[in-house]
Chains A and B, each alone.
Chain A
């Protein structure tokens, strides 16, 4: 491919885009995105081919409850479910993704259960956990930190996982 020159970075800044977009909708207080100077790091404790790997998604199972008529039905809670139950696809039309340019009809584009099972069959990883987890894309950092993250950690410990792949849509 030929060399290219640009006056702006090529990758999208979603922080900039969403601030302008919601600003244009009349929301004068921009969303406060999480920012950290440092990041924690846990090394892998055993060879990958002995590891049980888990998956976390921001997609949910389709809810049949009408959130307009049932108080609290609109709120989402973190969950654990069998990977087998997700094979038909998950619900994510309510999430923030590019519906004009792609689709989420193929589960493995946002939750690679089948691909990881293939890696397990080949011996690249020990196994894929039987359960995967879902976490809401919450507006509130406080809820994510104090409610959702500890719940996901509890699932991880129950399932004795060695490593986790998180796939935000």
Chain B
């Protein structure tokens, strides 16, 4: 998505990216980035919270209007849940002793399935 943003900017179209994967967007480098520190899935605000959604979308509009240089990142002030913030951060795509064997087995199965698709000529999955 950041690559699409860059392509539009190069063609003269102003853009703003709203997202929660800060490192991925910033490494790619975009003109304007509105960052919300939430679990991936709701970069435009919490489900059912219209007021927050309006505030976040409004900040994206502010960035369109007011940023004067590329790589402008603004972080919205919202917190997912002060009590469980460290939990979702650690839990997502977690790798530790408890799931290492299961992950290795899942990877092996996936490679077998992909090899089968390729050998049967079914194209990309």
Chain A residues at the B interface, C-beta cutoff of 8 Å:
1, 10-18, 20-27, 33-45, 48, 51, 53, 56, 58, 67-68, 71-75, 96-106, 108-112, 115-116, 118-119, 124-125, 135, 137, 141, 144-145, 148-150, 152-153, 156, 161-169
The reply to whether B3 and A44 form a contact with Cβ atoms under 8 Å apart is no
The reply to whether B44 and A108 form a contact with Cβ atoms under 8 Å apart is yes
Do A102 and B47 form a contact, CB below 8 Å, given A14-B23, A118-B54, A166-B4? yes
Interface SS of chain A: loop
> Taking each of B4, B18, B28, B121, which has the highest tally of chain A beta carbons within 10 Å of its own beta carbon?
B4
Which residues 79-104 of B sit at the A interface, judged by CB distance below 8 A?
80, 82, 84-85, 88-89, 91-93, 95, 99-100, 103-104
Roughly how many angstroms separate A145 CA and B37 CA in the complex, as a whole number?
Answer: 27
- In the complex, what residues of B have CB within 8 A of residue A15's CB? 23-24, 27
Roughly how many angstroms separate A116 CA and B60 CA in the complex, as a whole number?
Answer: 11
The reply to whether A41 and B69 form a contact with Cβ atoms under 8 Å apart is yes
Interface residues on B, range: 35 or more
The reply to whether A149 and B7 form a contact with Cβ atoms under 8 Å apart is yes
Contact of B8 among A43, A98, A152 (CB under 8 A): A152
Roughly how many angstroms separate A21 CA and B5 CA in the complex, as a whole number?
Answer: 27
Chain B residues at the A interface, C-beta cutoff of 8 Å:
1-19, 21-25, 27-31, 37-48, 50, 53-54, 56-58, 60-61, 64-65, 67-71, 80, 82, 84-85, 88-89, 91-93, 95, 99-100, 103-104, 106-108, 110-111, 121-125
- In the complex, what residues of A have CB within 8 A of residue B12's CB? 42
The reply to whether B53 and A38 form a contact with Cβ atoms under 8 Å apart is no
Nearest-CB distance from A78 to chain B (Å)? Answer: 9
Nearest-CB distance from A46 to chain B (Å)? Answer: 10
> Taking each of A43, A101, A116, A164, which has the highest tally of chain B beta carbons within 10 Å of its own beta carbon?
A101
